[in-house]
Structures are given as structure tokens and as C-alpha cells.
Chains A and B, each alone.
Chain A
Amino acid sequence: EAQVTQNPRYLITVTGKKLTVTCSQNMNHEYMSWYRQDPGLGLRQIYYSMNVEVTDKGDVPEGYKVSRKEKRNFPLILESPSPNQTSLYFCASTAGQGASGYTFGSGTRLTVV
């Protein structure tokens, strides 16, 4: 089954403790992206990657890092999480220019206390 897999689904952590949210897709998509969803704001793009070793900032990149060492994986790294990063995070991927649509993972609900 074609899918984007995120782990973990739920995570509670403390301020300053480094964490990684994993994202993997099995569709051989070049483009991958991370979004955060906050009430009343919709989804906002954090980082994206056009292909292996090619990443760039989205609209809200502060406090986040990403890497793209393999085509299928695109982890999101919070080196020193803060409470304002409490949010619902989605990973997405697409092929080509996106005409086929974007496939989203099931989401990771992160709480930073």
C-alpha cells in the first residue's frame, strides 16, 4: 500500500530535550515536506526537500532541522524543543510537480512541557 509513515503518533517531552520525528514514504517520491497544524492557522510548511541532499526552509522553519540522506526518509529534528512547538505535525510527499496529489502521513501530536 502506498503510504507515508510517521512515528511516533503521540509524543510528550520536556523543554530542551532533543527529539526526532521520523517520516518514510514507499512511493519513490522526490518531494517531501513537513507541516505543522495549529487551530485557526491551517497547515504551515516547515521545511521541504526536492530530492536527496536538497532541503530548504518553508514558512515557519525556526527551531527545526531536517535531513534527506535517502529518498524515502525525511526526519524532522527539534534540537531544543520549546512549548510553542506544541502542535500536530504532518509529513507529505508527492511526485513530479504535484499534479498527482500530495500524500500525507497520519500525523504526530507533539506536546512540549
Chain B
Amino acid sequence: AQSVAQPEDQVNVAEGNPLTVKCTYSVSGNPYLFWYVQYPNRGLQFLLKYITGDNLVKGSYGFEAEFNKSQTSFHLKKPSALVSDSALYFCAVRDLDTGRRALTFGSGTRLQVQP
């Protein structure tokens, strides 16, 4: 079975500082990994994905994530946080060895960027 852990319910960071939102996963085969962001009263917006290739993935709004196979991690990062980055962030994984194509989500991490 596939699973995702986001160990922090909330991350607080000052505007202009770098931010990291942590994600670790468990799959039996090769993973597809995704980050989504949810703003209040909005749906899920795609940020970035890792499918194959370069371990450092760049996405929307200046976000990036590094795929680390040995540590089974896919942490989301941004060099300089903005107040407008404050939102709920979800990491998700799809195990390529299963036929369901289901995404398994972490429980979410609320990012609060203080001015």
C-alpha cells in the first residue's frame, strides 16, 4: 500500500526567508510524486510533480522540490517566502505498480508566512 506523511501540521516562516515543507512517502514500486496547494475556499492547484529524471523539480510560483529516493522524501522548498504563499499544502504519491491510478495524499501542512 502507498502512503504519505507530512510530519508538520503547520510551518511558520517570516517573509523573505526560505521555506521547507516536508513530505515522506512509502510505495512498493516507483512513485509519481505531486505537490498541490489549496487556498481558502478554493480547489487544489497543481504546483509541481516528479515523474522521472532530474531529482530537483521546479514548479509554479517559484517552488521547487527535491526527490530523494534513499530517504523516500519529496520536500517542497522556496528560497524566499511571500505572504501570499500562506495556504494549505498537500503532498501526494501514486504507486506505479498498482493499477488504480489513485493518488494518496498526506494530511496537509498549513504554511503561515508572517510579514
Contact = CB atoms under 8 A, between A and B. Distances in A.
Interface stretch (B11-19, B43-51, B69-77): B43-51
Nearest to A59: B102
Contacts, number: 62
A84 interface: no
B96 interface: yes
Given A98-B94, A107-B43, A45 B103 contact: yes
Interface residues of A, number: 27
Interface residues of B, number: 25
A74 interface: no
B51 A90 contact: no
Interface of A: 31, 33, 35, 40-45, 48, 50, 56, 58-59, 90, 92, 94, 97-99, 101-107
